[in-house]
Homo-oligomer: A and B are copies of this chain.
């Protein structure tokens, strides 16, 4: 998505260690128009898949997932990282390392919002190591629903997430794919 790549080049900051700061676009400030167009583009890619639900993880997945869910006319569910007092009854739980928090985090989804026999689009802001997305995929499969696709706003191929997720045999789609952040640069794939 050309507009997104241009904005990342203009405003993104390469903080080293593969960390890309796009806080002016998505991760602290949200450019609502741009993120809506990102959501529409992802929705267009998976429109024919009969998606019942978009699944993401709090926090930064929520805005793009909302844009996709709104475009597809389906609900979004976001995995919680801390159990709120309103959460009771059975939950799906996976643990994944957080790149930006520097520690393991739990991902929790109430069973009532992840029923079986559905077609689920799994989405996150970044596809990097793929471990958050893998946790979401595992919960969908544990619920006996089907992952029909994996989507990310930004993919960093050099962290191996796509390679790790490919064995699930579902389409993996990113709006902007970064192949290198060496030497302070941000290099996109063609």
Contact = CB atoms under 8 A, between A and B. Distances in A.
A35 B66 contact: yes
Range of interface residues on chain A?
35 or more
Interface of A: 13, 15, 19, 21, 23-24, 27-33, 35-36, 58-59, 62-63, 66-67, 69-70, 73-78, 80, 82, 84-87, 100-102, 109-110, 112-113
Contacts of A19: 85-86
* Secondary structure type dominating chain A contacts: mixed
Contacts of A85: 15, 19, 100-102
A98 B63 CA distance: 22
B69 A32 contact: yes
A27 B76 CA distance: 10
A27 B84 contact: yes
Contacts of A77: 28-30
B113 A32 contact: no
